Structure 1
Amino acid sequence: MAGSWDHFRSFLAVLTEGSLSAAARRLRLTQPTLGRHISELEQDLGVALFTRSQAGLTPTEAAIELRPYAEAMAGAADALIRAASGEASEDRGSVRLTASEVVAIEVLPPILTAFREAHPRIAIEVLASNRNEDLLRRTADIAVRMVRPTQAALVARRIGTIEIGLHAHRRYLERAGMPSSLRDLAGHSIIGYDHETMSVQLLQALGLSLEREMFALRTDSDVMQLAAIRAGYGIGVCQVHVARRDPNLVHILPGEFSFDLDCWLAMHEDIASTRRVRLVFDHLTAGLGAYVAGRKG
């Protein structure tokens, strides 16, 4: 394919940021340089990639079709840099993880702190995202997932199950009362989703009937939902072990509303023998295992 990696990197940055100025800041390039990269790539490919207006740059259909290929190139380039940062047999270099927002923010920090103390020469990169990142494209080295990995060429290990339940702050319950059944939830302030997300699809697969109109606060961010629960906004869904850390959060109707999500750890088989990756993988296995079992540490 025509075009250098620099051109495709600039293309992907503009596609993500929506403007030349924002993309230039992200890549630490000048705006004219970035504009030249886009123009040269369009000339090489023989297609227009963006339509220009006062509102910014709008990707054309051709640009949208090219996006997954550019993302694959970016993942490969990042993987190359990580591979070059340390020898395969040494405990140095960088390892990139991906996990859901809640796991990345609420669960991983103490686990990774313990790893840092034991292996100070290994740098950890964390992508907090509720998307199931494609490890085959090398957007990450290791993934923590709430569904079983199905892609070939992955080494996967089941860690256990994470219990999910309804929770509310004591302050909210003092104001609104404790529901005695799921039917009582109709009179409460419920925290839920804005658009149908992967988490919602998992709940629906378990037979739970969820409608957007049920919710008094709608957000697709699990971290925002958890923050709203902690603030006393209303009743919402979160991981039981996360909620147990706060004595002011009350587990509501555990006998009527409770379900488990599988927790898996996965990495590409090509890097399974790389020492720094294996060290992180094994440490996460132990740390996440302790978490799902409800143990500290």
Structure 2
Amino acid sequence: MRASDIRISMKWSAVDLDWNQVRAFLATAQEGSFSAASRALGLTQPTLSRQVSTLEAHLGVTLFERGTRSMALTEAGQALLAPAKVMLDGAFDLSLAAEGRSTSMQGKVSITATSLFAMSYLPPVIEALRRKAPELTLEVIASNSLQDLRRREADIAVRHVRPSEDELIGRLIGEHTAGLYASPGYVEQRGAPSALADIHGHDFLGFDNLDQALEVYQQLGLKVTPDQLRVFSGHGEVLLAMVRQGLGLCILPDGEFCEGLKPVLADQVRVDFPVWLVTHRELQTNPRIRLVFDALATALTERLADKPVS
């Protein structure tokens, strides 16, 4: 189709918004302050503030009530937030469609995985990719939070749940296991429970927050109480260090990073979870993303099939 074949009846002069200014408005609404929004966008605070002020002047409305430490949307700002988000979704769709049709092998590919998984499984794959495609730039986002692939927070994700969004495609590459672990020092000083009912008096560590940690332990048949859960972290490597320090028992993925730790209730507390490799449907035709996706799938399938278990 030629551009001249497209006929749209529109008054183009009425559509003269600067996308950078709209983006600055959205980021400020999301982050709650000019300083946080400027960091999120990689801009200086004066530049972002100027973009928002220019947008307000152009629209003839005040979008934010300025406070000393935070920003609050005005009534006009709240009314304009939804259509601005539609523009944002359109910008992401445009970017995804263009990226999916790119034929260049040069550029960045970002991969996200949990911190422990990234630390243990990704370095050998990254090394192999660097040898095979030195022109690629690879970014590893180690996070226990799900990155939004639809908004390009990452290109490829290693996830432990099947993707449910229609825009995403996933490949099941294997399964992993987890168990309850303690340090040798903890076991020597406090002993180790020999049955599920024998956990009273033991300390436990948890991911993220109390409610989530309690739910996980209770689903595994461990009736852990809030008094037993006093240390939390959203980062797996931090929890691993805490376990090695002897601060308590914790559910950790089996593997080489648990080397030297003591499995506890190994025949009673086991977790099996899938490992999915996920990307956006629009990106699967991009050659550099396809190269990284296939390399990850092959290498991780082999590693998971022959994973070392502590």
- Which of 149, 169, 172 lines up with 2:183 in the alignment? 169
Question: 2-side partners of 1:79 and 1:55: how far apart?
Answer: 35
Change in 2 beyond 3 A, CA 1:282/1:190: same
Which residue number in structure 1 is paired with residue 289 of structure 2? 277
1:5-44 equivalent positions in 2, closer than 5 A? 5-15=19-29, 17-24=31-38, 27=41, 29-43=43-57
Which residue number in structure 1 is paired with residue 4 of structure 2? none
1:3-82 equivalent positions in 2, closer than 5 A? 3-15=17-29, 17-24=31-38, 27=41, 29-43=43-57, 48-58=62-72, 62=78, 72=89, 75=92, 79=96
Question: 2-side partners of 1:269 and 1:204: how far apart?
Answer: 37
The amino acid of 2:270's aligned partner reads: S
| Paired residues of 2:202 and 2:228 also in contact (CA < 8 A) | no
Question: 2-side partners of 1:128 and 1:104: how far apart?
Answer: 6
Question: 2-side partners of 1:78 and 1:223: how far apart?
Answer: 34
Which has the greater radius of gyration? 2
The amino acid of 1:221's aligned partner reads: H
1:42-191 equivalent positions in 2, closer than 5 A? 42-43=56-57, 48-58=62-72, 62=78, 72=89, 75=92, 79=96, 83=99, 87-88=102-103, 90-191=104-205
| Most deviating of 180-189 and 24-33 | 24-33
1:261 aligns with 2:286: no
Name the SS for the 1:216 alignment partner. strand
Per-residue displacement from partner, 1:24-63 (whole Å, max 9, x unpaired)? Answer: 4554544333212122334556665433222233456828
Name the SS for the 1:8 alignment partner. helix
Name the SS for the 1:54 alignment partner. coil
| Most deviating of 47-56 and 200-209 | 200-209
Change in 2 beyond 3 A, CA 1:26/1:192: closer
Change in 2 beyond 3 A, CA 1:240/1:46: farther
Change in 2 beyond 3 A, CA 1:212/1:15: farther
Change in 2 beyond 3 A, CA 1:277/1:215: same
Note the residue ranges of structure 2 that are not aligned, 5 or more in a row.
Answer: 1-14
Q: RMSD between aligned alpha carbons? A: 3.5
Note the residue ranges of structure 1 that are not aligned, 5 or more in a row.
Answer: none
Size of the aligned set, in residue pairs, is: 290
Identity over aligned pairs, percent:
35
Residue 230 of structure 1 deviates from its aligned partner by 2.5
Which residue number in structure 2 is paired with residue 290 of structure 1? 302
Question: 1-side partners of 2:20 and 2:186: how far apart?
Answer: 53
The amino acid of 2:195's aligned partner reads: S
| Paired residues of 1:240 and 1:251 also in contact (CA < 8 A) | no
